[in-house]
Structure 1
Amino acid sequence: MAILILGLVVFLGVHSVRIVADGWRSATIARIGVGAWKGAYSVLSLAGFVLIVWGYGLARHDPVPLWTPPVAMRHVASLLTLASFVMLAAAYVPRNGIKAALGHPMLLGVKLWAFAHLLANGTLADVVLFGAFLGWAVLDFRAARQRDRVAGAPRGGGTLAGTGAAVVVGVGAWAAFAFWLHAAWIGVAPFAR
């Protein structure tokens, strides 16, 4: 469990700099340059991610059950993760109405993804992993919305084509992950249990 927690501290810590020290971040980028900042950010993020994957894998070998979720929660989790994949796609597909309406769809997608996994899983490692991501996404979304208000950032509009593309890409990515990649990468087939 210690490796999982260390990975979360490193990964989410790096991703929390704008939440807790935006001024320091800006000053550091000005001092060392954008390229050096992005390089250090990427290396630390990757190290944290590797520690999370390794630590969660180790924790799954000796699980500490906290509760047994009802089978229905798997179905609820599937629907929530479908929505989270659409939101993730909306963060990158240009000119879509989902991003225009939500402002920060990736963070909302992470919230849904984490919440869905908390509903469907009941071990200590699950609570630590998905609870940490849920808490981080809530704080980061709040901070991002505050930055938007201060900057007076307009969200822009979306087009039907952009919105449709975000939905198609999100649903396609969700289907690939739910029916194939989740089992291949995580070792759990969501619809096979």
Structure 2
Amino acid sequence: MGWVLLILGVALWWAAHLFKRVLPEQRAAMGNGGRGAVALVLVASIVFMVLGFRATPYVAVWAPPTFMIHINNLLVLIAIWMMSPAGRKGVVLNKVRHPMLGGFKAWTFAHLLVNGDLASIVMFGGLLAWAVCEVIVINKAEPDWTPGAPGTLAKDAMFLAASVVLLGVIGMIHGWLGYWPFPQ
């Protein structure tokens, strides 16, 4: 049952995010109520992924070397920063078209580096594939893009500092769940 929930969760994540781009007329016909429906599907997808991931048996595919922990943590820090408002309010990410999706890709890739089990490969690999596909679909649907006015380096620094704090908080939550993400 764990595998079914995990795969269903990843599939629902894909469907909810791509719905607007793949079936724009159907999404438009739903009006504002469609946002709530999509949000519910996204919450369900996350619940299914978490329950499915925790219920799948551990199937080792590869053994990540311990130094990957450092690379993972650096990539997760970069991902958190990219998913912050730094893309709109800072200078460094100002010309990056999809900083949030870029951060999401860094986050999934980082987790693939340190998790060598099949459930992690299915979940994080499926989410990484979605993020790549989402960028392609958005760029095809909206080929013209111009970056907004750049912000300030002070905002970049502020969001980076907040990202370091958030990384620590996320690390503590991972520890409470039994997955200590920092070197020991």
**In the alignment, is the contact (CA less than 8 A) between 1:73 and 1:119 conserved in 2?**
yes
What SS class does the counterpart of residue 153 from structure 1 fall into? Answer: coil
CA distance in 2, matches of 1:96, 1:146: 26
The 5 A counterparts of 1:49-60 are 49-59=46-56
Structure number with higher helix proportion: 1
Count of residue pairs the alignment pairs up: 181
CA distance in 2, matches of 1:103, 1:171: 23
Displacement, 1:68? 0.7
Displacement, 1:18? 4.0
- Dislocated runs of 4+, deviation >4 Å: none
User: Which of residues 36, 55, 64 is equivalent to 1:69?
Assistant: 64
**In the alignment, is the contact (CA less than 8 A) between 1:182 and 1:189 conserved in 2?**
yes
1:124 aligns with 2:124: no
**In the alignment, is the contact (CA less than 8 A) between 2:5 and 2:51 conserved in 1?**
yes
The 5 A counterparts of 1:158-173 are 158-160=150-152, 161-173=154-166
Match of 2:146 in 1: 154
Tell me the TM-score normalised to structure 1 length: 0.85
What SS class does the counterpart of residue 100 from structure 1 fall into? Answer: coil
CA distance in 2, matches of 1:30, 1:112: 31
CA distance in 2, matches of 1:122, 1:15: 27
Match of 1:188 in 2: 179
Amino acid at match of 2:148: G
The 5 A counterparts of 1:107-118 are 107-118=101-112
- Any stretches of 5+ residues in structure 1 without a counterpart? none
The one-character-per-residue Cα deviations of 1:146-165 (angstroms, maximum 9, x if unpaired) are 3442xx23211222233223
CA distance in 2, matches of 1:148, 1:87: 21
- Cα RMSD after superposing both structures: 1.9
- Any stretches of 5+ residues in structure 2 without a counterpart? none
**In the alignment, is the contact (CA less than 8 A) between 2:27 and 2:34 conserved in 1?**
yes
Fraction of identical pairs, as percent: 30
User: Which of residues 18, 29, 32 is equivalent to 1:31?
Assistant: 29
Cα separation, partners in 2 of 1:187 and 1:42, compared to 1, 3 Å: same
Amino acid at match of 1:4: L
